[in-house]
Every structure is written in structure tokens, then in C-alpha cells.
Amino acid sequence: MGVTIAIDCMGGDHGPVVTVPAALSFLRSHPDANVILVGREEAIQPHLGTAVSEFGTRIRLHPASEVVTMDDPPAIAMRNKKDSSMRVAMDLVKAGEACAAVSAGNTGALMAISRFVLKTLPGVDRPAIATVLPSMKGHTYVLDLGANVDCTAEHLLQFGVMGSSLVAAIEHKERPSVGLLNIGEEAIKGNDVVKEAGELLRASGLNFYGNVEGDDIYEGTVDVVVCDGFVGNVALKTSEGLAQMLGAFLKQEFSRSLLTKLMAVVALPVLKRFKKRVDHRLYNGAPLLGLRGVVLKSHGSADAVAFGNALSRAADAASNRLIERISERMANMNEVKA
């Protein structure tokens, strides 16, 4: 029997217009998988088409009357909206009816609700948000991306363990290399927390590479890059901004005149391949790690392709026993320490 994904259909900038078609494509490309569409029936129904006859019991609608908005403070979303699509999707994971929950909604609320409903795994102080980015050599996984602003060395160590388990599960690499994000100035090699985290990681039994710098993320120096949430968030957003600017500049240069537009037409197949290769939609779906259940955060502005990738990633994580892997590694870690 395949995995079942609980989908918060109401989350994100677009809601069911995006989430429902993505769910249907996902069912088509994953013949073993099932989905539970969570949200307001009247909002979801119009986008189902002939899905019920097509997929039968593989698709099911689970009503939830409320919606967590992007502006809801996490505490309010958690306490006052107990019948939100986000919360109900999480309850389905908790109850064992679904193996994973995917939401494009408010990150803070998603983190608070998943932490409250699912709880953290033994040995994990704080869940983290991870993402995968393209690199010269394949993929690099980076965590944390903003869940944890002030981190201790111990937290960074836990991120290393969780990130390593994630790569083991998703990329089928048994001993992924782990790097600690630091700065390369000759004068000063990181602050005290980072220095201490380096020592903990070195002693951890993980395949610890040592310090890496920002450019190593895209060079693919290591499989997992560990950093605190502030730094990780800045690195990710800066990358998004730079990619957007470069794309806009390239477009501008090709639209400068009739001649350059003709050149663009000639070069189009190459430009398209290039674009496809670095398409950020491929990288949508950031796992929340350290919880007793698989939860993925989709970008709020995700389209159906991007949201579909988050669903596939959730199915991958669940079927490759992500949670069990993290628990085992955390337990081993604590044995080594004890």
C-alpha cells in the first residue's frame, strides 16, 4: 500500500485553484499514492472535475471550515482556528490516516501547529526547515531556513543529524557529507557558537567535512549545509533575488531591439533548457524536520507544478522512512554521548 498525503488545500496565495489540480497530477504520476484534500468543500469541489470517478478511493475530501491566513500570528492560528485546513491536515497525520502533510500556508503557523500536534522527536530541541538547492554537482540541502533565529551549538549539531538523515532518505546516500556554514575572512573564523558547533559536529560520528562558505552551497562541496535560521534565510532570499535580477537582465538584453529579439528566437531552445535546469519550482517543498511526522512547506506563491513537486517530495520522504531515520540517528547520537 502506498503513501497517503494530507493536503492543506486552502493554504498559499492561490488555494484550491493550485492545490487541487496539483493533487490530481500527483495521483496520476504516483499510481500507488493516495491524497486527502483538506479544506472547504465548496472551494475544493469545483476543481475536482471527474477526479472521483478517475481515482475512486485514492482521493478523499476531508472538510475543514477555517483557513489560516498569511497574517495570522502563529499562536492565534493554533489556539483559535482548531478547524483550519492546516490543523486538520496535521491531525490526520497524528491519527495515522496520512503519512505526510503538505501546506503552502503561513510558515510560522505551520511550524507552531505541527510542533503542537505532532510533537518533536526524542533528542530534538527545535524542529528546523530544510531546503534543497541546485549545485554544480547535483543538490545541496540547507538548514535551518528561518525557524530558529538564535541557535546554540547543540541545535546546529541536531540540524546536522536531521539534514544527514534527510539526504540519506531522499537521495539514498548513506553517509552524506555535512558542512558548517562559516565565513572565510582570515582574521576571524566565525563566532563562538559556530566554533563550538564545529567541535560537536567533528565528534558526532557524522561525515563532517568542516567549515564551508556561502559559495560552497552552489559549488556542491557538501551534501548538507548547516546554519542558523537567520543566516539560512538570508542566504536563500539573497539567492532568489539574484536569480530574479539575472533573469530580468538576460530578458532585457534579448528584448533590446528587433535584432536581439531575433537572436533570442534562435537561442530559444538553449535558453529554455537553461531555464528548466534552474527552475526554482523543481526545488519546492521544504521539509520541517524533527517532528513525529512528515510535514512539507510549499512556497506560498507556488503554481501547480511547484506544489506537485512538494507533494512528490513528501511521498518520497514518507516512503523512505524519514522520521525513523532521524529517530535512529538521534538515538545513536545520544548513546555515543551517554
Which 188-217 positions form the footprint of a second copy (CB under 8 A)? 188, 190-192, 194, 213-217
Residue 90: C-alpha distances to residues 15, 103, 296 (Å) = 17, 10, 11
Of the listed pieces 31-39, 152-160, 232-240, 319-327, which binds a second copy according to CB under 8 A? 232-240
State the Cα–Cα distance between residues 132 and 218, nearest whole angstrom.
Answer: 11
Between residues 172 and 273, which has the closer beta carbon with respect to a second copy? 273
| Span from 56-64, 159-167, 187-195, 286-294 in contact with a second copy (CB under 8 A) | 187-195
The residues facing 80 across adjacent strands are: none
Measured distance CA(78)–CA(74) in Å, rounded: 6
First-to-last alpha carbon distance for the chain, in angstroms, is 39
Question: Nearest distance from residue 337's CB to a second copy, in Å?
Answer: 28
Indicate the residue among 109 and 169 with the shorter CB distance to a second copy: 109
Helix, strand, coil shares of the chain, percent, nearest 5, are: 50, 20, 30
Alpha carbon of 174 to those of 89, 105, 167, 236, 310: distances in Å?
31, 32, 8, 26, 23
Instruction: Please list, in sequence order, all residues whose beta carbon lies within 8 angstroms of the beta carbon of residue 42, skipping any fewer than 6 positions away.
Output: none
Residue of 154, 230, 281, 320 that binds a second copy (CB under 8 A): 230
Contacts of 242 (CB under 8 A, 6+ apart): none
DSSP string, 62-99: EE--B---TTS-HHHHHHH-TTBHHHHHHHHHHTTS-S
User: Which H helix or E strand runs over 209?
Assistant: strand 207-212
According to CB under 8 A, which residues from 101 to 130 bind a second copy? 106-109, 111-112
| Positions in 135-154 near a second copy (CB under 8 A) | 135-136, 146-147, 149-150
Report the distance separating Cα 41 and Cα 302, nearest Å.
Answer: 22
| Interacting residue with a second copy among 152, 233, 319, 327 (CB under 8 A) | 233
Q: How far is the CB of 209 from a second copy (least distance, A)?
A: 16
Is residue 55 a contact point for a second copy (CB under 8 A)? Answer: no
The binding track of 57-86 with respect to a second copy, each residue x by CB under 8 A or -, is -------------xx-xx------------
Stretch that binds a second copy, among 24-32, 50-58, 167-175, 234-242 (CB under 8 A): 234-242
Q: Which of 175, 202, 256, 337 binds a second copy (CB under 8 A)?
A: 256
| Cβ distance to a second copy smaller for residue 232 or 293 | 232
Site residues for a second copy, 31-50, by CB under 8 A, read: none
